[in-house]
Structure 1
Amino acid sequence: MKRINIITLFMAGIFSSSMLHAQETLTLQEAVQFALENKAEAKKSRLDVENAQYQIDEVRAGALPQINGSASLKYNAIIPSMPIDMNGQTTYLKMGQPWNSTAALSVNQQIFNQSLFTGLKAARTTREFYAINHQLTEEQLIEKVANSYYDVYTTQLQLQTIEDNLNSTTKTRDVISGLVTAGLGRKIDLDRTNVAINNLQANRQIIVNALELKENALKFAIGMPMETDIVLPNETFAIDASLASAAGYDLAARSEIKVLEKQNELLELNRESMKADYYPRLSFGGDLGYQGFGQGFPVGGNFNWFGSSGLGLNLSIPIFNGGATKAKINQATIKIKQAQVDLEDTKLALNLANENARAQIKNSLLTVDQNRRNVQLAKEVMDDTQNNYRNGLATLTELLDAENAYADAQNNLNTSLLNYKVAEVQLIKANGNLKSLVNE
């Protein structure tokens, strides 16, 4: 049995180790979906929505009958005496019994309480606020994940570019090395090529380190364990030129606007709850109780019980509190005006972001197209230069410059692609369609 347990633990360790270091092919949609399910912000916002229902239950409880019970048991070790003058004679009477006990049940029901009614409206509005805020949290998370995802992808493209350049330069070095060995080439050309290779290898290591850091940042952004290896697919940077001419967007549909509008509604209800202090309050109350006294313990002893009961209405009418209520209402009004200013400023900022995103999309499309043509041209120049160098019609300097120009053109293309995708995310966000990144 012990041997079987050891084998089982060994196999479990191997399995868990393979799971910890499992490699995940991660599309943008999968990354966003993973973040919505696992990231702390998304989890907490879902809990806020759930907690809002409990807040409603708490306020609603104030409108339901409040029933309370109480009981007490007391043993009077020393019973106090009171002197009484009876016909000139002072008599001392003991006031009480060694044992006394009480048991009571009370009921209170609100009949009219304007503050309570306003609180119920506010609780329902709070639930709606948290639901909208949850949607906004998800959109902000999607935006963050998308930007981090494209940043990783761009770095991967940069790494691929430098590796291609390194392979090309290495092949050139091998050709020159063969020529030097055969006595047909110059050693200085071989040395210069080795220097170029060393520089490319150093730059490659810098990119590899940067890529690891950005991958870790992406894992953190989506809530994925750091030990999980991720691989991004090749079709991530698709270009949609139709976005540049997309129709206008509905500002009222933005979650940022909905949150602020709902917040203003909550502030209005908060002011209404303060105004409720001007209203009278009416409630119904009733109680039923028993009080007992005796020489012995209530159970099994000489003990007598006496009942009591009462029903009544309780009315509270505010008359004057020195203007405290008015001051509170005025403060609440100022907060509403400040929230309205925030709303207008947010609308202006969203309009600015939308216009900037549209302009960036147009500029990025032009830049991407230009850089693609430039990459093709640089590739043709490099191929021609390599052919000329092999035929003795170009110098090594011209060859290395052509290879560097081709690498620069590819990096410029990658940068323009990233700028386009970032602008694309902003434009999708402006249109209120960030959730489409999950459903594509």
Structure 2
Amino acid sequence: MKRLKLLLILLTGIGVYNGYAQTEMTLQECLKYALANNQRLAYTRLDEDMGRFKTAEVKSRALPQINGTGTYTNNIKKPVFPLPGDVVGQPGQTVLLESGLTHNLSAGATLEQKVFDQTVFTGLKAAKTTEEYYRMATVQSEENVIYNVSQAYYQALVTREKIRVLDANIGKLSTLVETTNTQFRNGLARKIDLDRIRVNLTNYKTQRIQQENQYLVQLNQLRQQIGMPAGTALELPRASFAELEDKTAAGLAFGSLDLDNRIEYRLLDKQTELQELQKKAYIAEYYPSLSLTGSYSYNGLSNNFDFLKSKSNGSTANWYGMASVGLTLKIPIFDGFGRRSRVNQANVTLRQLSKQKEETALALNTAFENAKLQVKSNLGTIQAQQENVDLANEVYNATQNNYKLGLADLTDLLDAETSLTEAQNNYNEALLQYKLAELDIIKSNGNLKNLLN
């Protein structure tokens, strides 16, 4: 019995959890969720981290470079030096003398500090600029996420509204089927009329299944865009479509295109700045470089491996220290025109970036003008389709009343119902196209992040 109670409690808990799992998310909530969870955006932010680490790596070149060394040598066969015998009292002979001791032990450290190296200084500037570039790339990735999520959200909203229209029509036709079926049983309607209504009802039910599948696919795409795990319950608030209509009715202020607000154009500016620094780095290779060097070592020599013993314990090892400081000057003289070629390549890249900026500016201006045309055109279409929906609704209601009074036949009623459905779907599609064009306007003005508010 206790196990049964525990099972019931667990099942109740699961039911409550699933109830809360039915998450309704507004557009703003989806956007905020996406900025926190989108995988592509997370990847770009890791690039930003990588940029900081690269800057630290470049900075290290300007700091002292210290290395420790340790060597042990066993002279199994010592080198010999030939000496005239006269030196050692053996005239007319050549005497071979061994050089060095059997065991050599040395420990030391070296230090190098750049005093002047133009390539290092230029590299530091380039590293900071690279950091800024990665930060801007993150901003671009955020804008892409906002744009893509908004598109997916609007498409899902409109598809759900099409399902609502189909549900309303299915309800009307279901009622009509019941009424006509009753009339048929009483001999007041023809079977062919009943069959025609059923055919239309089946067609609408088939369309609803298709639209429902499309809606589920669009929700899956929205989950992917915001970084939500597949299978997680997600629904869009019912009020969202009404808000969509209200914001459309309010119209849109186009503003003006400012290229400095477009992250794509600013990234090209930053790339140009980076390439200028790269060119300076190549030119810096013509400059001499000066480094301060220092070294210290402590060495031991012995014919017996007794370095760990002290003199008092009979060690034969001799220890001595060595130290040096110096300056190293490196003067580039001739490298086969390699530096000149790299500078020329940098000049070509700068010219390419200049042309790319011109192309991007033209493309952004064209996209902005096209978006304005689309917004104006779709706004007019929305207004016309709204009037068309109202008119089609009036025609349907009038035809339905006439049909009930016997003043209109079934064909007129079905035609009026089909016209109403088409008008409603055309209105919804025009609304979607308007919102997509509006997105392009907002993107052109560099205001996509305003959608978060």
- TM category (shorter chain) comes to over 0.9
SS in 2 for 1:282: strand
Match of 1:231 in 2: 235
Among 293, 308, 312, the residue aligned to 1:299: 308
Shift of 1:431: 0.8
Among 411, 429, 433, the residue aligned to 2:425: 411
Comparing 267-276 with 243-252, which one deviates more in the overlay? 243-252
CA contact (8 A) 2:26 2:240 kept: no
1:42 to 2:47 alignment: no
Query: Are residues 394 and 35 of structure 1, via their aligned partners in 2, closer, same or farther at CA, if it must alter by over 3 Å?
Result: same
| Matches of 2:45 and 2:35, distance apart in 1 | 10
Match of 2:312 in 1: none
Comparing 16-25 with 172-181, which one deviates more in the overlay? 16-25
Match of 1:373 in 2: 387
AA partner of residue 382 (structure 1): Y
How many residue pairs get aligned? The number is 434
Among 178, 181, 190, the residue aligned to 1:186: 190
SS in 1 for 2:247: coil
Comparing 10-19 with 234-243, which one deviates more in the overlay? 10-19
1:122 to 2:130 alignment: no
Among 247, 250, 256, the residue aligned to 2:264: 256
Pairing of 1:291-440 with structure 2 (within 5 A): 291-294=299-302, 295-300=304-309, 301-438=315-452, 440=453
Among 107, 114, 124, the residue aligned to 1:110: 114
Pairing of 1:187-206 with structure 2 (within 5 A): 187-206=191-210
CA contact (8 A) 2:34 2:145 kept: yes
| Matches of 2:353 and 2:155, distance apart in 1 | 36
AA partner of residue 305 (structure 2): G
SS in 2 for 1:291: strand
Shift of 1:175: 0.5
CA contact (8 A) 2:157 2:240 kept: no
Comparing 381-390 with 117-126, which one deviates more in the overlay? 381-390
| Matches of 1:222 and 1:263, distance apart in 2 | 29
Shift of 1:409: 0.6
SS in 1 for 2:407: coil
SS in 2 for 1:313: strand
The sequence identity of aligned pairs, in percent, is 38
AA partner of residue 325 (structure 1): R
Among 220, 229, 247, the residue aligned to 1:216: 220
Shift of 1:76: 4.1
SS in 1 for 2:240: coil
CA contact (8 A) 1:281 1:316 kept: yes
| Matches of 1:337 and 1:22, distance apart in 2 | 55
1:225-265 deviation line (CA, Å, top 9, x unaligned): 11112211223413345654433232212111110100000
Give the gaps of 5 or more residues in structure 1. Answer: none
CA contact (8 A) 2:257 2:365 kept: no
Shift of 1:18: 4.1
AA partner of residue 359 (structure 2): D
Query: Are residues 320 and 78 of structure 1, via their aligned partners in 2, closer, same or farther at CA, if it must alter by over 3 Å?
Result: closer
Match of 1:73 in 2: 72
> How much is the aligned-residue C-alpha RMSD, in angstroms?
2.3
| Matches of 1:17 and 1:50, distance apart in 2 | 41
Shift of 1:333: 0.4
Give the gaps of 5 or more residues in structure 2. Answer: 310-314
Match of 1:31 in 2: 30
- Normalised by the length of structure 2, the TM-score is 0.90
SS in 2 for 1:128: helix
Query: Are residues 281 and 247 of structure 1, via their aligned partners in 2, closer, same or farther at CA, if it must alter by over 3 Å?
Result: same
SS in 2 for 1:425: helix
CA contact (8 A) 1:74 1:101 kept: yes
| Matches of 1:330 and 1:12, distance apart in 2 | 73
Shift of 1:393: 1.1
| Matches of 1:416 and 1:278, distance apart in 2 | 63
SS in 2 for 1:246: coil
| Matches of 2:220 and 2:356, distance apart in 1 | 36
CA contact (8 A) 1:21 1:228 kept: no
Query: Are residues 319 and 16 of structure 1, via their aligned partners in 2, closer, same or farther at CA, if it must alter by over 3 Å?
Result: farther
Query: Are residues 21 and 185 of structure 1, via their aligned partners in 2, closer, same or farther at CA, if it must alter by over 3 Å?
Result: same
Shift of 1:131: 1.0
CA contact (8 A) 1:21 1:229 kept: no
Query: Are residues 273 and 346 of structure 1, via their aligned partners in 2, closer, same or farther at CA, if it must alter by over 3 Å?
Result: same
AA partner of residue 22 (structure 1): A
| Matches of 2:368 and 2:169, distance apart in 1 | 39
| Matches of 1:329 and 1:271, distance apart in 2 | 6
AA partner of residue 110 (structure 2): S
| Matches of 1:400 and 1:78, distance apart in 2 | 112
| Matches of 1:398 and 1:108, distance apart in 2 | 95
AA partner of residue 272 (structure 2): N
| Matches of 2:19 and 2:308, distance apart in 1 | 67
Match of 2:277 in 1: 269
Comparing 75-84 with 107-116, which one deviates more in the overlay? 75-84
CA contact (8 A) 2:68 2:108 kept: yes
1:154-213 deviation line (CA, Å, top 9, x unaligned): 111111111111111111111001111122111111111111111111111111111111
| Matches of 1:242 and 1:193, distance apart in 2 | 40
1:54 to 2:53 alignment: yes
CA contact (8 A) 2:64 2:113 kept: yes
Query: Are residues 235 and 13 of structure 1, via their aligned partners in 2, closer, same or farther at CA, if it must alter by over 3 Å?
Result: closer
AA partner of residue 209 (structure 1): N
CA contact (8 A) 1:283 1:315 kept: yes
AA partner of residue 421 (structure 1): K
SS in 1 for 2:333: coil
